Amino acid sequence: MLSIARSELIQIFRNRLVLVTSMIMPVAVSAYFLYQHETFESLGSLGYIAAIMIFTVGAFGLYATTVTTLASRRQNLFLKRLRSTAVSDAGILSGLLLPVTVIALVQVTVLLAVLAAVAGGPANVPLLAAAVVATVAMLLGLGLATAGLTNSPEHAQVTTLPISLGVIAVASWVGISGTEDLALLKRLLPGGAATELARDAWNGGAALGDSLLLLAPTLAWVVVALSLASRLFRWEPRR
């Protein structure tokens, strides 16, 4: 698995498209939120800014790159060749996705640390970490499912748009308006509960038990995404 991960990391830095989508674009967008944090704080809160940065890196970096990577490796028959080795299916996927996952986690950690240094730190760091891990798991699962519907890296630019834009829209809606109204709907949408959890973790004030319950909808989306992935994912190009 580690040899696959090392090879994939090299490919990320060689592929300009993947490099831009997984590293440069998410960081550039998040840097804008940091630069304009006072303006965006007036719309929601520091917790809203933190949640938006998490989902920007997650959607445009981790999720989109997951789909592009798997579609590319399927198209050039690399997935098929890997399955002829002694590495298990889970090991193959873990090796392919480990580099982009680590990159996304490092990006989120650095960006949130900068936000804390510039505007003040989170009230509950462990709770914020739980929100980040749950979001990453959800977007990885959705990436695996979407990869099953994606025929090529070029096709990934189309198939990833609905979820990428959708989770950003949900995060913005929940982050700005809160969950005083339509709470159940907002929490059940993908990214809604994770956004509220990130807001609570940063801003403070919410009861710990109530905040931990917000993990349930996000983890439910992980289960749904993995279930879809098990049905939709293909190891060979569609004929």
Tens digit of each residue's pLDDT (9 = 90 or more) over 206-218: 777 777 888 999 9
Q: Is residue 141 part of a domain?
A: yes
What confidence tier does 239 reach under pLDDT thresholds 50, 70, 90? low
* Number of domains forming the structure of the chain: 1
Q: What are phi and psi of 181, to 5 degrees?
A: -115, 145
Q: Kindly tell me the burial class for residue 234, based on how many C-beta atoms sit within 10 Å of its own C-beta (0-12, 13-18, 19 or more).
A: middle
- 208: in domain: yes
Region 31-53: what's the mean pLDDT? 73
Q: What is the mean pLDDT of the chain?
A: 85
237 within some domain: no
238 part of a folded domain: no
Domain assignment present for 239? no
For the ranges 9-13, 53-57, 157-161, the lowest mean pLDDT is seen at 9-13
What domain range is 47 assigned to?
2-232
Model-level pTM?
0.90
Q: What percent of the chain has pLDDT over 70?
A: 90
| Residue 77 belongs to some domain of the structure | yes
Q: Are 5 and 98 in contact (CB under 8 A)?
A: yes
The reply to whether 126 falls in a domain is: yes
